[in-house]
Amino acid sequence: MRLIRLIANLGYGSQREVKAMLRAGRLTLADGTELAESSRVEHADIRLDGEVLDPPQGMVLMLNKPQGYTCSTSDPGRIVYELLPPRFMRRNPVVAPVGRLDRDTTGLLLLTDDGDLLHRLTSPKHHVPKTYDVTLARPLTGDEGELFASGTLLLRSETTPLLPAMLKATGDCSARLTITEGRYHQVKRMFAATGNHVESLHRSAIGGLGLGDLPEGQWRFLTADEVAGL
């Protein structure tokens, strides 16, 4: 790919702005050699202001989403992209959230510009387990685990029962729930079906991938091994 388009597609600026970066000598090789519009160079060898570039297409990152942010590119309120470098929203292909978390849900959100991966992780055909820590308004009755595991729970206005889900009580009013689907407000609706109400919801894992010690509001790229593990 031509150098200008490559840099512009990474969201660093419009093609015109990238041309200006070249004229200003901001795009170089690692040894400081200035690049020209016609330079044929590998992504990994390019430096912008001496820094390596963001990863090429296929990048996957995790964000520890705080409350109050919407998984959308346009919303009157705050959006998750505000927690990332602004250029990520300008990348082509776009960086999209892998599924959605509600505005008031916290925790692990993956974002990627890899359309195949996005499809694989969100398609109803692929039952990727997602684990949530739930705080409830009322104590668990003790019957929820069996109901959620039964594969017979039908949510209001739906025609197909939910796939079996695994519940582990972690306190009188708290539980860890693992589901393998991503239906609309699924966890909240599952507990609503038992006469309870979700007070807070935190996604702690997707498959075997957890947040580790990533602080709330922070993000990081996934390693190649983590992406392969997804």
Q: Of 165, 187, 206, 222, which lies in the binding site for ligand URA, with binding defined by CB under 6 A?
A: 187
For ligand URA, which is the closer residue by CB, 35 or 201? 201
Cβ closer to ligand URA: 47 or 100?
100
- Minimum CB separation of residue 51 from ligand URA in Å reads 35
Distance CA 218, CA 188 (A): 25
Alpha helices in the chain (DSSP H): 3-9, 15-23, 115-122, 144-149, 186-192, 224-229
Q: Alpha-carbon distance 224 to 206, whole Å?
A: 16
Q: Which of 28, 17, 21 is nearest to 51 (CA)?
A: 28
Closest approach of ligand URA to the CB of residue 145, in Å: 18
Cβ(57)–Cβ(66) below 8 Å: no
Catalytic residue among 102, 133, 172, 225: 102
Half-sphere exposure of 59 (CA within 13 A, CB side): 19
Task: Cis check for the bond before 93: say yes or no (omega within 30 of 0).
Answer: yes
146-185 residues near ligand URA, rule: CB under 6 A: 185
Q: CB 192 → ligand URA: shortest distance, Å?
A: 9
Pick the closer one to ligand URA by CB: 34 or 75: 75
* Residue 207, both tokens: 């498959």
| Contact mark string toward ligand URA, 45..84, x via CB under 6 A | ----------------------------------------
Residue whose tokens read 């019957």: 143
Catalytic, 102? Answer: yes
Of the candidate residues 201, 206, 211, 222, the single one contacting ligand URA (CB under 6 A): 201
> Which of 9, 105, 131, 196 touches ligand URA (CB under 6 A)?
105
Using CB under 6 A, list all residues that contact ligand URA: 101-102, 105, 185-188, 201
